[in-house]
Amino acid sequence: MASQQHEFEHPRKAFGWAARDTSGFLSPFNFSRRETGEKDVALKVLYCGICHSDLHMLKNEWGNAIYPMVPGHEVVGVVTEVGSKVEKYKVGDKVGVGCMVESCRSCQNCVEDLENYCPTNVMTYGAKYIDGTITYGGYSDSMVVDEHFVIRIPEGLPLDAAAPLLCAGITVYSPLRYFGLDKPGLHLGVVGLGGLGHVAVKFAKAFGAKVTVISTSPNKKDEAIKILGADSFLLSSDQDQMQAAMESMDGIIDTVCAVHPIVSLIGLLKSHGKLVMVGGVAKPLELPVFPLLKGRKIVAGSLIGGLKETQEMIDFAAKHNVKPEIEVIAIDYVNTAMERLAKADVKYRFVIDIANTLKPTS
């Protein structure tokens, strides 16, 4: 009966790939989408990025999973239908959907275009929507989303490369802007060179910063400097290198989602420096206070961005040619991709070619 409910809950047939349990294994899934409401945009999904958080969610590592789960919140598509009161989009427009599909619209955060911090916002997948049904993400053929939560993809930005910007891009762009780390001439560190880290390097360079990649993997040095354009590389396990770089950075974006020491990172900051955490580390980190006191340093967090800022970010990316490095895959490769992602074996973001590889099965 459960599968029947997903298929007939809403009037519009949909098809995607879903996980049924904490194994995280994805397989074909028939379900349904709501009709296009007066403020809704319906889209055909063309591409969907695979975010590291998809992996955590699929395996319920953050403890809030709802199954069956259709992941995907880096969604790019083309508008197929608009509701009667939609003002911003028309059929044929290239659009994106990021991490959220609804918020309360009235709290202080929402009023300030910070829907990402709305206490009752609704995530694009694995959440309860305002009508009580479960949200399903972009590993699917179609979506129906309120126009407020839809982003316009600017001309000149390849659609496959645009997808990861809707989560990875805004996740690093927002703290760079908010914490004033977007000024030319600053020295910024980026910890971890994965999906988030490599985009952080590109945005920081586009803002005119000197960028140092900080990593535990010596083999990342050539990639960081030659491929991504970083200015220098620090091996965090090398005490001499870390010592030589003490108090040299204005800010650090830490993208690592595993437990790792942050004392040495605080040591890299100048006085008034900011260490901003954007990786979803599931367990508490150790934070000694004295290194913060000695230099009025800040350890902060940041989570994606509001819709207005997400549009600003993607427009900036198009203007400054900030494009994630991607590996485009077919949907039937998705479970292998997840295994590779768990081992950090991707340069640097998987993007599923939904339009050409997701075919409904009987």
- In whole angstroms, what is the distance from residue 152 CA to residue 145 CA? 13
- The answer, yes or no, to whether residue 362 has pLDDT greater than 90, is no
pLDDT, tens digit (0-9, with 9 covering 90-100), for 201-215: 999 999 999 999 999
Instruction: Give the mean model confidence (pLDDT) for residues 21-26.
Output: 95
pLDDT tier for residue 7 given thresholds of 50, 70 and 90: confident
Instruction: Give the mean model confidence (pLDDT) for residues 240-265.
Output: 95
* Cα 172 to chain centroid, rounded: 9
Where do we find the tokens 């971890």? 192
Q: List, in sequence order, every residue forming a beta bridge with 57; answer none if it has no partner.
A: none
pLDDT of residue 62: 86
Instruction: Give the mean model confidence (pLDDT) for residues 6-23.
Output: 89
pLDDT of residue 1: 37
% of residues, the chain, pLDDT over 70: 98
- In whole angstroms, what is the distance from residue 189 CA to residue 191 CA? 6
- The answer, yes or no, to whether residue 361 has pLDDT greater than 90, is no
What predicted TM-score, i.e. pTM, was given to this entire model?
A: 0.94
pLDDT, tens digit (0-9, with 9 covering 90-100), for 271-289: 999 999 999 888 899 999 9
First to last CA, the chain: 18
* Cα 169 to chain centroid, rounded: 6
- The answer, yes or no, to whether residue 3 has pLDDT greater than 60, is no
pLDDT of residue 4: 62
pLDDT, tens digit (0-9, with 9 covering 90-100), for 97-135: 999 999 999 999 999 999 999 999 999 999 999 999 999
Three-state secondary structure call for residue 56: helix
